[in-house]
Amino acid sequence: MHDTALEFAAAFFDTYTKDATGLKIVDIGALDVNGSLKSVIPPNNEYVGVDFAEGKGVDVVITDPYALPFANNSIDVCACSSCFEHSEFFWLVFNEILRILKPEGILYLNVPSNGDFHRYPVDCWRFYPDSGIALQNWGRRNGYNTALLESFTGRQRTDVWNDFVAVFVKDEKYVHKYPNRIKGNITHTNGLSYEHAAVWGGDEEWKANAKRDFTNFSEKQEDQRGKSALQRTWTRIVRRWRGSVVMP
């Protein structure tokens, strides 16, 4: 887990579950590799870590990622960080998460939107903020009244990664239970929210619409923007210092 992934997870729990108790929180892809979401969940809640392999942070070992071992409508919060990029059929995992969530349950999702090729055991996907809308619509096509509460791209720190972050509620009629948004208090680009959903583009006005609909609209990722010689040198130093560490 890279530096900003844990920070965004902490911001999610602080924004959406602050002071909550008695929640059942399932972390999908929970193996502790350079950090675990377990360290940032609010106290007095039940944490269940799910992964393919036994190890630190894993409570339940699964063999089929598309069949989660939980009953329908039984989970309050699902979190999945640095995992969907490694799932061949992430849309099926998304369906399984919706199945096990309670109607008012929420999903926190973090997937890289850029970064190095890193097989764990495969590396298939990168996500942008519109991916949140696509997943919402996929859920609806499969019979769920899913709503995207927010999605955005996070800023890099000392690592190579930009994070795609999204939060969903299983049933749109419970949106009112979650009035606050992470992106209102965190540096980001291309932020969307339930309150200001972007109109699908495609015409010659798409860029003007994007600047209207997205918070902090940007066509380029952090690592595509021009940086000073000092910033580029520092980035190279940090990456060399990290050596051959493989980020999940």
CATH number of the domain within which 163 lies: 3.40.50.150
Structure tokens at 10: 């902490």
Beta bridge partners of 109: 80, 166
Whether 117 is covered by a domain: the verdict is yes
Whether 248 is covered by a domain: the verdict is no
**Average pLDDT estimate for 6-22:** 95
What integer pLDDT is reported at residue 183 of this predicted model?
A: 94
Structure tokens at 248: 């999940």
Whether 148 is covered by a domain: the verdict is yes
Q: Where residue 248 falls among pLDDT bands split at 50, 70, 90?
A: very low
Structure tokens at 54: 């036994």
What integer pLDDT is reported at residue 230 of this predicted model?
A: 63
What integer pLDDT is reported at residue 247 of this predicted model?
A: 42
Give the predicted TM-score (pTM) of the model. Answer: 0.86
Whether 247 is covered by a domain: the verdict is no
Count Cα atoms within 13 angstroms, Cβ side, for 233.
Answer: 3
Q: Residue 237 sits in which domain range?
A: 3-242
Whether 98 is covered by a domain: the verdict is yes
Whether 119 is covered by a domain: the verdict is yes
Whether 47 is covered by a domain: the verdict is yes
Q: Cβ distance 169 to 106 under 8 Å?
A: yes
Whether 33 is covered by a domain: the verdict is yes
pLDDT in tens, 184-240: 998 898 999 999 877 766 565 677 777 778 888 888 777 676 555 566 667 667 767
Q: Cβ distance 59 to 225 under 8 Å?
A: no
* Number of structural domains found in the chain: 1
pLDDT greater than 80 at residue 38: yes
pLDDT in tens, 92-132: 999 999 999 999 999 999 998 776 676 667 767 778 899 99
Peptide bond preceding 69 in cis form (omega within 30 of 0): no
Long-range pairs for 178-185 at CB < 8 Å and ≥24 separation? Answer: 178/16, 178/106, 178/149, 180/15, 180/16, 181/15, 181/149, 181/150, 182/8, 182/11, 182/12, 182/15, 182/150, 182/152, 183/150, 183/152, 183/215, 185/11, 185/15
